[in-house]
Amino acid sequence: MRSLLVRGLREEGYEVQGFATGGELLRKVAEVVPELFVIDIGLPDTDGRDVCQAVRAQGVTAPVLFLTARDSLSDRLSGFHVGGDDYLSKPFAFAELLARLEALIRRSGADRNVEAGALVLDPAKHAATCGGETGPLTPTEFRLLAKLAASPGEAIRRKALIETGWPHGAIVYDNTLDAYMARLRRKVCTLPGAPQIATVRGVGYSLQ
Q: What is the mean pLDDT of residues 195-208?
A: 95
Q: What is the mean pLDDT of residues 3-31?
A: 87
Question: How many other CB atoms are there within 10 angstroms of residue 169's CB atom?
Answer: 8
**What pLDDT score was predicted for residue 172?**
80
Give 22-44 pLDDT, tens digit per residue: 999 988 887 776 788 999 998 89
pLDDT band at 128, cuts 50/70/90?
A: very high
Q: What is the dihedral of CA 97, 103, 108, 111, to 10 degrees?
A: 110
Which of 60, 59, 63, 50 is closest to 23 using CA atoms?
50
Are 140 and 126 in contact by the 8 Å Cβ rule? The answer is: no
Ranges of beta strands (E only) in 37-126 are 37-39, 64-68, 86-89, 114-116, 119-122
Separation CA 205–CA 107 (nearest Å)? 31
Give 55-100 pLDDT, tens digit per residue: 888 877 778 999 888 778 888 888 888 888 888 888 889 999 988 8
pLDDT band at 120, cuts 50/70/90?
A: very high
Domains of the chain: 2-108 (3.40.50.2300), 114-207 (1.10.10.10)
pTM for the whole structure: 0.53
